Each structure stands twice: as C-alpha cells, then as structure tokens.
C-alpha cells in the first residue's frame, strides 16, 4: 500500500502516513460517536435539571423551616437557579453540536489537501566543491601569527 500524498510505501494497518501525516482511511465513527456522546449528554442534562430542582426545593424547605430571612433564601435560590441554568445551557450547546455532526452538517466545505508539484519536490544538485570542516575553521584561528621583521 502506498500513500496517496507522498507515495511512500506503508503498512496496511496504519491510519496515518508516517512520513507526511496524511489520513489513509476515511473518518469513521469510533465506538458509536457522536451518537453515544449525544445519549450521555442528554441523560446528564435531564439528571442535572431534575436533581438540581429537587435539591433547590429541599434547600428552600430546610432554610424556611430554620427561620432564615426570606430575602436570604431568595438570593440563594436565584444564585442556585442561575448556576443550574448555566450548566443546562452549556449542555444544550453541546447537544446542538453533536446533532449537527451526526447529520453530517459541516458548514465549511472540506478543502482538498495541498500537494506539491513535482518540480518543487526535486532534489537539489550535488555540491561542486567540498564543504570545509569545522576543525579547519577553528584551528586556523588558534595558530600563532607569523612575526614580521622589518
């Protein structure tokens, strides 16, 4: 099997090319995703809403039974409801994303992968002259300078 982008020979069990990173197989749903996640988030949303309201009713009943001022109970209730509302809104936003993904609704069209033309990937010509070594460049500066006599 060969990579469609770079042409490197690869094993059949790989998901990505080791050389260029190209995906070798089309994307598939892993373990029922996003369907399984959608079910989990909907269950969580239901439990947060029901249990949150149940806890709120119990908390208000306990506070009113202990003769806590009504204004304090209302402030606690509003804060608790705001927190529950925020949690539910964030879960609903996740649900809409998962439903959109499940229906295949990608609003941005997938662009094809860019491939380099063959002249751009050609190898550079060989060097015509040898490269100086590191030791040549460093030992020359360490040599003692010649003393001139006039």
User: How long a stretch of residues is the chain?
Assistant: 150
* pLDDT surpasses 70 at 64: yes
Lowest mean pLDDT among 12-26, 71-85, 127-141: 127-141
Tens digits of residue pLDDT in 79-122: 999 999 999 999 889 888 877 766 665 556 666 776 666 666 66
Q: How far apart are alpha carbons 91 and 134 in whole angstroms?
A: 62
The two tokens of residue 109 are 């069209």
Using pLDDT thresholds of 50, 70 and 90, give the confidence band for residue 52. very high
As a whole number, mean pLDDT of residues 4-27 equals: 78
As a whole number, mean pLDDT of residues 73-82 equals: 94
- List the chain domain ranges: 1-28, 35-104
As a whole number, mean pLDDT of residues 34-45 equals: 80
Q: How far apart are alpha carbons 119 and 117 in whole angstroms?
A: 6
Model pTM above 0.85: no
More reliable by pLDDT, 4 or 89: 89
Cα 122 from chain centroid (whole Å)? 34
Q: Highest-confidence range of 1-5, 17-21, 22-26, 117-121, by mean pLDDT?
A: 17-21
Lowest mean pLDDT among 11-15, 97-101, 102-106, 129-133: 102-106
């Amino acid at each position: 099997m060969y990579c469609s982008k770079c042409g490197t020979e690869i094993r059949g069990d790989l998901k990505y090319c080791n050389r260029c990173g190209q995906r070798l197989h089309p994307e598939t749903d892993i373990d029922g995703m996003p369907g399984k996640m959608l079910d989990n988030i909907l269950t969580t949303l239901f439990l947060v809403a029901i249990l949150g309201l149940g806890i709120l009713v119990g908390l208000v009943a306990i506070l009113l039974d202990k003769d806590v001022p009504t204004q304090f109970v209302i402030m606690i209730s509003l804060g608790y409801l705001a927190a529950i509302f925020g949690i539910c809104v964030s879960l609903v936003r996740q649900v809409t994303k998962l439903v959109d993904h499940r229906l295949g609704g990608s609003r941005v069209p997938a662009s094809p992968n860019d491939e380099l033309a063959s002249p751009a990937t050609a190898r550079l010509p060989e060097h015509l002259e040898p490269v100086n070594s590191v030791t040549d460049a460093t030992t020359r500066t360490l040599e003692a300078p010649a003393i001139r006599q006039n």
